[in-house]
Amino acid sequence: MSAAAADDVVEVAVVGGGIAALSAGLFAAGFGLRTTVLTEIVMGGELLNLEEVDRYPGIPGAVSGSELAGRVEAQAVEAGADFVYDDVTRVSRDSGGFLVAGLSAGVRASSVVIATGARRRTLGVPGESALEGKGISYCGTCDGPLFKDRAVAVVGDHDFAGREALVVARYAAEVTLMTSRPALELAPATRAALEASDRINVLLNAEVTGLDESGGRLAGVRIRDVRSSAETELRLAGLFVNSGMVPNTALLEALLGEDAEGGVAVDGAMRAAVPGLFAAGWARRGFGGYAVMAAADGAVAATSARDFLRPG
Ligand SMILES: Cc1cc2nc3c(=O)[nH]c(=O)nc-3n(C[C@H](O)[C@H](O)[C@H](O)COP(=O)(O)OP(=O)(O)OC[C@H]3O[C@@H](n4cnc5c(N)ncnc54)[C@H](O)[C@@H]3O)c2cc1C
């Protein structure tokens, strides 16, 4: 791996290190385009937090997220992509191309693929940030083992929340999977596994309105039934928040203004409103959520970058 110098101009700068970025890097470099993938800290993104990646075509057995990400990274390296470890703070126009500025150096590029993923949406209740790491977690695989034989809850209604409840139930004595919605959106296999578990309870129509702490750690949550407005309390040692994602697009404010909020708007070819700018995976609006969709987005974005750089 070699890093591009800051005064070089690469043909494609891919910002991000998850499967969307790695796939974009693989395809762009595979097309023979001079490609640099810039990511903060480590390659792999959210996949690094997944013990098993469900529903990835061609890999029917359990494959860990880190193994899958490592395989795609190796393919991208083999195809000739360069990798730079940098936290990209701003993407702006620069003499016909783009300046991709990072905390370390950044690069100049003729086209840019934004694949910066998303972070978990917080609950937005008072005290949440102070209790992060002291009972509140945004990663069941990372922090589940810390709650062995304790009572915990997972907030969320999507299949990923259901799967997170199954992960933390390997350690916790009791897991409450709760949502303010009237139903969970689960894949049949997840629903069956949840029903088979004697450690997992489901609580619907339950909105978390407050947090209780004791000795600087989470001790429980206050819950409001959204139908009756009745309030109850649940004693808990841990709360895993998995109630939606917020795209990481602040780096595009200079380029897109408020349009960057909520994900980059793209067409079916992953083209953003600015010519030469593309987006893939969780960083874009309308993303389908699954890893294979992020990989496909990355491949499509790289193909569109090639067509932009070499029309006809
Ligand atoms: C609990 C849970 C379970 C899941 N289970 C499955 C499953 O079983 N099967 C499945 O197919 N999918 C699953 N998913 C979804 C899967 O994780 C996503 O589809 C996938 O991670 C999206 O990839 P991405 O590349 O778009 O984003 P991410 O994986 O979020 O990667 C974004 C990358 O960009 C980097 N980055 C962010 N900002 C910057 C910046 N400013 N500068 C440089 N780099 C930056 C980040 O460090 C990260 O490396 C699950 C998700 C969750 C939360």
Contacts of 256 (CB under 8 A, 6+ apart): 249, 264, 272, 273, 274
* Max intra-chain CA distance, the chain: 66
pLDDT at 1: 36
In words, the CATH class of domain 136-241 is alpha beta
Look up tokens 């893939």; give the residue: 280
β-pair partners for 112 = 13, 277
Specify the pTM. Answer: 0.92
Distances (CA, A) of 80 to 15, 116, 160, 232: 16, 21, 34, 57
Distances (CA, A) of 6 to 87, 103, 175, 230: 14, 12, 49, 58
DSSP-derived letter for residue 252 is G
Q: For a ligand 1 pocket test, name from 27, 36, 38, 46 the mutation site with the most ligand atoms within 8 angstroms of its C-beta.
A: 46
Identify each DSSP E strand in the chain by its residue range.
Answer: 9-15, 35-39, 82-85, 88-94, 97-102, 107-114, 118-120, 136-137, 151-155, 174-178, 200-203, 206-214, 217-225, 231-235, 238-241, 245-247, 277-279
pLDDT at 2: 40
Ligand 1 center to 39 CA (angstroms): 12
CATH fourth-level superfamily of 9-120+245-309: FAD/NAD(P)-binding domain (3.50.50.60)
Query: Ligand 1 atom closest to Cα of 245?
Result: 53
**pLDDT tens for each residue of the chain, 312 residues long:** 344 444 579 999 999 999 999 999 999 999 999 999 999 988 899 999 888 888 899 887 778 999 999 999 999 999 999 999 999 999 999 887 999 999 988 899 999 999 999 999 999 999 999 999 999 999 998 999 999 999 999 999 999 999 999 999 999 999 999 999 999 999 999 999 999 999 999 999 999 999 999 999 999 999 999 999 999 999 999 999 998 999 999 999 989 988 888 899 999 999 999 999 999 999 999 999 999 999 999 999 999 999 999 987
Ligand 1 pocket (Cβ < 6 Å) reads 15-21, 38-40, 45-47, 50, 53-56, 87-88, 115-118, 160, 163-164, 242, 248, 251, 281-282, 289-292, 294
The answer to whether 131 touches 213, Cβ cutoff 8 Å, is yes
Domain positions in the chain are 9-120+245-309, 136-241
Q: Name which residue sits closest to atom 39 of ligand 1, judged by CA.
A: 116
Ligand 1 center to 117 CA (angstroms): 5
* 290, two tokens: 């699954």
Pairwise CA distance, residues 311 & 117, whole Å: 28
